[in-house]
A = this chain, B = another copy of it.
Amino acid sequence: MYAEIIAVGSELLTPDRVDTNSLYLTEQLNTLGVEVRRKSVVGDDRALLAEEVRRAVQRSEIVILSGGLGPTEDDVTRDAVADALGRQLIFSAELLEALTARFARLNRKMADNNKRQTFLLEGAEALPNARGTAPGQWLETDSAVVMLLPGPPHELKAIFADDCLPRLAKRLPPQAIRTRFLRVAGMGESDLDQMISPIYKPYANPMTTILAGAGDIQIHLRARGSNAAEAEALLDEVAPRIEELLGERVYSRDGASLETVVGRMLRARGATVSVAESCTGGLLGERITNVAGSSDYFVGGFLAYTDRLKVNLLGVEAGMLALHTSVSEETAKAMAAGARARTGSTYAIAVTGEAGPESATGAPVGTVIVGMAGPDGDPHAERYTLFGDRNGIRARAAQWALDYFRRRM
């Protein structure tokens, strides 16, 4: 069974807006085993939209329209679908009553043109919209189900989840979808794909998707079976082999971010951490503190951007800096040790490197050193060569630093 999604609205044909409702709808349809075969965006043009709907219902069993249900003349979805299907729009006293009550409740005067929102396609069911004035509509024709949904995402999602999904599920053969979700750090996307594609490529079910950004990789596996056990069994055939191959590079199986995982580890030990940042300029601290409750384990730290501050704030020895430069294992270790001593934290993480566009120390742009100090043993450090532009390198540097800390803690 196939679906088509039509987004309506001239604003979605400008350079600044993209239709995202279809991503949500696709995700939900996929869980029912329905594939989206076509998506389109049409402006507020009744004739063009009517043509679009006419073709869609000929081709596909499910047609979902979003947007164009407002009260103004620009809102053409109701009329266009009526034209396409040769159906009348019928006034609903019930909808008018609900709309009038809504305006009364909000102490607002209902404009005359809101009455446009009280017309239903002949044969359609109204789908109540608790969050806005435009009710959705559900219409079954001989060949297709047609849904009219409002454009604002929170209205669309609520109506689709509450009223459309259950109706669709009843019309479709029972099936179960189960997913696994792995998050991976410390390697690039193409290296990862090369490594694991021999495992997942032979399988269309589960379907494997890899999403990556700045050194953070998400692997989604989605299996479809006639029941939950069957779907789980399909996942068990593939997911554990991927996990085993990736080993400790997998940092989370529940969707938690790397900074959340690091926070959980610190909390579990009753430990605290501080940072000493050079090339990341605050990004590492920002990552750690974007987790609610991070004040339980993050004490603070230093942005030692210049050599002088590395010496003055962190106690890095000037002679050592002159000898090894700021982009060295020695400096990263001294920065970590200094942050730990000066903040009294259990652990400290240091990052120093060349984010570009030019190198100040002679080390190639992309060279990043992560240092760590803790209660056991001497400070230690590792050198990485990272890719990207300035912000790409900085983002990867923070990611690699968190991951180094996770693996060594």
| In the complex, chain A residues 22-43 whose Cβ is within 8 Å of any chain B Cβ | 23-24, 26-27, 30, 35-43
| Bound complex: CA A51 to CA B54 (Å) | 14
* Minimum distance in angstroms from A46 CB to a CB of chain B: 13
Q: Is the CB of A286 within 8 A of B281?
A: yes
Return the contact of A289 from the options B59, B282, B357 (Cβ within 8 A): B282
Q: Is the CB of B286 within 8 A of A282?
A: yes
| In the complex, chain A residues 171-194 whose Cβ is within 8 Å of any chain B Cβ | none
Q: Is the CB of A23 within 8 A of B18?
A: yes
Residues of A within 8 A of B (CB): 12-16, 18-20, 23-24, 26-27, 30, 35-43, 45, 48, 51-52, 55, 59, 209, 211, 220, 274-275, 277, 280-290, 292, 294-295, 298-306, 308-309, 312-313, 342-344, 356-357, 360, 390-391, 394
| Bound complex: CA A275 to CA B36 (Å) | 50
| Bound complex: CA A39 to CA B39 (Å) | 8
* Minimum distance in angstroms from A183 CB to a CB of chain B: 15
| Bound complex: CA A305 to CA B149 (Å) | 45
| Bound complex: CA A309 to CA B340 (Å) | 12
Can you name 29 A-B pairs with beta carbons within 8 Å?
A: A12-B39, A13-B26, A14-B26, A15-B24, A16-B211, A18-B18, A18-B23, A38-B41, A38-B42, A38-B52, A277-B282, A281-B290, A282-B282, A282-B284, A282-B287, A282-B301, A282-B303, A285-B285, A290-B391, A290-B394, A292-B390, A299-B309, A300-B303, A300-B304, A300-B309, A301-B303, A302-B302, A308-B344, A312-B342
- Most B CB contacts (10 A, CB to CB) among A35, A38, A287 go to A38
| Bound complex: CA A343 to CA B14 (Å) | 47
Known: A38-B48, A48-B37, A288-B281. A343 touches B15 (CB 8 A): no
Specify the main secondary structure of chain A where it touches its partner: mixed
Q: Is the CB of B43 within 8 A of A41?
A: no
Return the contact of A303 from the options B16, B211, B303 (Cβ within 8 A): B303
Q: Is the CB of B313 within 8 A of A343?
A: yes
CB nearest to A7 among chain B residues: B39
Q: Is the CB of B292 within 8 A of A357?
A: yes
* Minimum distance in angstroms from A13 CB to a CB of chain B: 5
Q: Is the CB of B38 within 8 A of A15?
A: no
Return the contact of A306 from the options B39, B277, B295 (Cβ within 8 A): B295
CB nearest to A286 among chain B residues: B282
| Bound complex: CA A281 to CA B274 (Å) | 11
Known: A298-B305, A313-B343, A391-B290. A40 touches B37 (CB 8 A): no
| Bound complex: CA A90 to CA B346 (Å) | 70
Residues of the B chain whose Cβ atoms lie less than 8 Å from the Cβ of A287: 282
| Bound complex: CA A188 to CA B81 (Å) | 36
| Bound complex: CA A26 to CA B12 (Å) | 11
Residues of the B chain whose Cβ atoms lie less than 8 Å from the Cβ of A343: 309, 312-313
Residues of the B chain whose Cβ atoms lie less than 8 Å from the Cβ of A16: 23, 209, 211, 220
Residues of the B chain whose Cβ atoms lie less than 8 Å from the Cβ of A306: 295, 299-300
CB nearest to A298 among chain B residues: B305
Q: Is the CB of A285 within 8 A of B303?
A: yes
| Bound complex: CA A19 to CA B22 (Å) | 11
